[in-house]
Structures are given as structure tokens and as C-alpha cells.
Copies of this chain bind each other. A is one copy, B any other.
Amino acid sequence: MADLRGPDIQPAFIGIPTFAHAPFALTQEELRSLKPDVAIIGAPVDMGVVNRPGARFGPRAIRQAGYAGSPNDRFYHMGLDVYPMRELKVVDFGDANCPPSSLEQSHEAIRVKVMQALHTGALPIVLGGDHSITLPSATAVAQHHGYGKVGMVHFDAHADTGLSGYGGVLISHANPMRRLLESGAIPGKNFVQIGLRGYWPERELFEWMQNQGMRWHLMSEIETRGFEVVLEQAISEALDGPEVVYLSVDIDVLDPAFAPGTGTPEPGGLTSSQLLGAIRRIVASVELVGADIVEVSPPYDGPGAITAEVANRVGLEIISALAKKAKDASSP
């Protein structure tokens, strides 16, 4: 019982750093043969950032976070009373091959990689990278599950619905949600955004969003009405229309105290506890078909690496909540 003796038991800092010490698959065939429930995919891209770069190192940092060792079948979510890795087969499918000077090629590589995972039956969880990677990732999910049928629950300080970035560039981390809407992958009314604050976007963009049927919840609303109330409404909105849901977590939805290692920090955000709790409730309430965790920039994270740690736990919390559902479903 809880005896860490034996040649196969390793502390966290030893061995190949996959996400949560999951087994890895180098090819789609390997992935398929492992019969995955969840596939972790790295999207090491930061060409889309308008301020502080570094998110290309996000996937490695998120994988190396955490302190529990392998094998991971002992990971136990005490709040949910579930062993996530016993309920679900989680496999680390490695990184999409993102050439650092071509956002287009990078996005196509991500889209293909996510699609490969989906074809094996796995639910993809993509580790960014900047938020532009939600465009190829959610596009793949929509291609798989049906254009217009996927909802987007989106935690972020920013709406990411800009018409264009600097220079009129259409693809950056300020635009993915607009591109997804425009392409028809995700209709406007399927968007629910939580945690917006600060000084961007501007009013006319909110008006455009409203015209598209998008829904959003500012931090000021959360402060006034309470997080519980707003979260409940957000969940009911997420269930209003979409058949399945994609969850996109920009780590800057957290207050910079909890996530300093990011490109465009905005004071006044959620706490880690709020975010993790919200993820638990959302995953319990909707049918999740894909997720991403983006905008972790290790060069700005400080020696404690707390942003990578909380991003790691966001991934684990998604998996744990999925596992809880699986466990409950399989119980008589």
C-alpha cells in the first residue's frame, strides 16, 4: 500500500516527460493500438502572439509540471474520488510539427494531428502554444463532429474575435474565435466566453459578437453576481444548441498572480481554485469532444513555474472529470 518500491516506479523527474507520465505514441498506428480515450497533443507555436512570445515552449513545460511519479495509475483525484488513469486510457501523442516561421504550416500540422487522434476515437487535449492554435484544433473537431454542431466554452481574459491582427494579419492569437465563426465550424450562438476583462476588444467588436449570437461573461459580472450564478448560466448557455462541446482554456483567464507566465497578462482574473472547479462542473454537464490549454509562456513564468503547474492541473482536471463520468456511467 503506497509503497514506491520496484524498478518500474519512478519519481516525476525521471524518464521521458510525457503528460502526466502517460504512455506515448509516435504514430497514429501506435496511438490506435493503445485504444486511447484521450490523446494529448502538443502545439508548440507562438508566432501568433502580439506581445510576449515563448508559448512554443509551453507543451514541454506543461508536461514536465507535476510531482507525482510513474506509473500514473496511482493518480487519485481526491475531490472526485476517482483514479483518472484507471478509468480512461490517456496517451501522449507528441507534438504537431510546427515550423517556427510558418503559422500556416504549423496550423495545418496541428489540424492533421488532431484529426489523426480523433480518427482513433480519442478525445484530443491540445497543449499550446498561443491561442491561434484553437483555430486548427477546433476546426478538426468540427470537421469530425459536424460543422455547426460543436459548442465552444472559452475561458479567457480576451474575446479573441478580432477582425485582424497588426498589419491586417488574419491569423494570430487575437482572432481564432472569429475565424472559427466565419468558417462555419462553430456558429456564433454556440460560443460561451467566461472571464473577459481589461481594455480589449472594443465596444464595436462586442456589438459584432452580439449580432453573431455569441454569449460572454465579464469578470465584472462575475464580481457582481457571483461566480456560482454566472457559471450555472454559462453551462445552460453551453447546452443551448450545441450537441457537443470544445473547451478552450486560455491560461490568462487566471489572475496574473496565479499565471504570471503568459504573453498578455490582465490583472483581475479568476483564481486557480475557481477555474479548476468550473472545469469540473462544465465537463460534468456537457459532452466534451475536445479541449485545449493555451498561452503558457515559460520564459515569463519564474523559477517556481506555477503557470505550467496550473496548466498541467487544468489538463488533469479535465481528464478526472471525464473519468468521473465514465466511472459513474459504468457503475450499476
Binding site for B on A (CB under 8 A): 1-5, 7, 9-17, 24, 42, 44, 46-54, 56-57, 60, 64, 67-69, 74-79, 81, 83, 94-95, 97-103, 105-106, 161-169, 171-172, 196-206, 208, 218-220, 223, 255-258, 260-269, 271-273, 276-277, 299-307, 309-310, 313, 316
Contact = CB atoms under 8 A, between A and B. Distances in A.
Nearest to A97: B10
A12 B51 contact: yes
Contacts of A7: 97
Contact of A78 (B9, B24, B83, B206): B206
Contacts of A10: 95, 97, 166
B46 A53 contact: yes
Contact of A12 (B50, B64, B77, B105): B50
A205 B1 contact: yes
B165 A4 contact: yes
Nearest to A199: B75
B79 A197 contact: yes
Contacts of A15: 94-95
B50 A60 contact: no
Contact of A60 (B17, B106, B169, B313): B17
A167 B105 contact: yes
Contact of A4 (B47, B99, B263, B268): B99
Contacts of A47: 47, 101
A268 B78 CA distance: 13
Given A267-B306, A273-B255, A166 B99 contact: yes
A298 to B, nearest CB: 9
A56 to B, nearest CB: 6
B256 A309 contact: yes
Contacts of A161: 2
Contacts of A49: 100
Contacts of A163: 1-3
A192 to B, nearest CB: 16
B273 A268 contact: yes
